[in-house]
Structure 1
Amino acid sequence: MTLPNAYAIRVHQTGGPEVMVAEAAPPRAPGPGEALVRQTAVGVNFIDTYHRTGLYKLPLPFVPGSEGAGIVEEVGEGVTHLGPGDRVAYVGRGTYATHYTGRAAGMVALPAAISDEEAAAVMLKGMTAWMLLEEIRPLQKGETALVWAPVGGVGSLLTPWAKHIGARVIAVTSSAAKAERAKALGASDVVIGYDDVAEKVRELTGGKGVDVAYDSVGKISAEASLSSLKPRGWFISYGNASGPADPIPPGRLAAGGSLVMTRPTLFNFTDTPEALARASRRLFGLLAEGVLEADIGQRFPLKDAPEAHRALESGTTRGATLLMP
């Protein structure tokens, strides 16, 4: 199949945003168990920057991108749950492109109430929030959670979801404007700035600390997260916005009171069609109920992917970022 306007953003060498270049990319016909999608919206995530810089290594060259939404154009042999014209969303590798061919089992048909843009904005981020809150260590009503970056892509879903569960959310963010947004999303208290976070969290909890810390910041936040926990609390590290966290010796967990630390990857929780369906049903259900909102803070043309990465890495984005093919 050859389309004159089909293109992808490709990385031939790792580095800054400038290494992403637009190149002609004829869509690949779907093989058995696959579907070809004309993409209408592509989500931008921090993991895409980790791939681009080489922090998370991929074989070169590669097309970045981890999620998208669009309209099925063709299905391969054996695909029966999808057909041409269906609207779908998915988590997959190589979505910075006008077209995407991937496993049909990893694609979810969209309910009428969910738009393509909403799906692309929340699919990866929302299922990440689901994994963090309900799969790894289910957050309970009455518990207290520390949420870093509460108005970012994952954080803007994690915060209201945790509140919906009935937990108290203490958020950590960088500015007064973001603090107001965090409170609107459901945070009961917000620490502004990254100095003395653990001390401030202890003050807010009467010296007890929090039950779980959801940390997407990494290098500058890990110790503060650990120091904010109650005995037997959970440190869930799921991002590296400030760079990878320094190594943490097992003895540090003992010193904090038998703490638990984990570094989850979403694929391990959505590696079967059944798990993916469970995650998407829960996510789309909360969107339909109005508990969650697809907070699309900014949109960029697909060809401007480098600018989208610069905005994301500078910390100036809010909510989800989309690329529009």
Structure 2
Amino acid sequence: MAVEMKYDDPIQQKKYEDFLSHIESGGKIEADDWMPEDYRNTLIKLISMHAISEIMGALPEKEWTPKAPSLKRKLGIMAKVQDEMGHGQLLLRVAEDLMKPIGKNREDIMRDLFSGDLKFHNVFHMKTKTWADAGLVGWLVDGAAIITQTNMLDASYAPYARALKRIAAEEVFHAQHGEAIIMALSEGTEQQKEMVQEALTRWWPALLMFFGPPSAKTTGTSKQDTTIKYKIRKNTNEELRQYFFTKYVPRVLSLGLTIPDETISYNEATGEWTYQQPDWSEFKQIISNNGPMSKERLRLRKLSYDNNEWVREALGATAILQ
């Protein structure tokens, strides 16, 4: 478990103990409340990563907006992309409030993204090769996101919990949008069914990786103990992945699709799924910006950021004049 902090200053130590007692009893922390440094840093890293993942996550689907098979599908995916960008902006504001006391702002978040210091979810480094990929991203990737987000709806940091309530509600519509695409393809021609199966086979390892490694022993990089200790989240990565299996494996099989893992099975005695672990060394490579589309997506994000610098400068000048 995460190591308890110790302060040399007894006043600070008392604040820390009162803080822990407050969140242990279900109390909430606001942006201007006292908080331990590692609590603040953990939140900044988590919320910044979530914000950037929402924004970077819009890019794979944006690629399919002009190629959607009908006007209805085009409007649906455009609305989804707009929502994801809005989620990113909302979360960036939450992160900025945490960063102000330590003299940092949104510019620092973007610099960390472009330098590689700030990671984003592994799934958004992947290619979307077909329309079935666009459907799977909506159905299973957003489905996985809903599981992780609802796990934090009662987070001890109140501004994040409030933002998550809005985001998770909208993600439900995104998952339904993706499921509708997959169901239509699964009930279509043999070629369409094969396209869905091929997409599922390619995306399965990335979906398992979405929740992160089971424990720090797997990769040596897990921070889940700290977030659980501080009541930011309730469940471990593995518990969330098990819930994903329970919710989605039966649905996938009901569509006549095959899970690309011959070992996967449910153990009635233990109440857990047995499955083949993904390659966690590959996961580390992907989130280190060495995935199939990492460089291209970062290039597009940097291009957009640089091209709109004049807008930020104009807004800054307006704020000064006011």
TM beyond 0.5: no
Higher relative contact order (CA 8 A, sep 6+): 2
Q: Which has the higher strand share?
A: 1
Q: Which has the higher helix share?
A: 2
Rg comparison, structure with higher value: 2
TM-score (norm 2): 0.30
TM-score (norm 1): 0.30
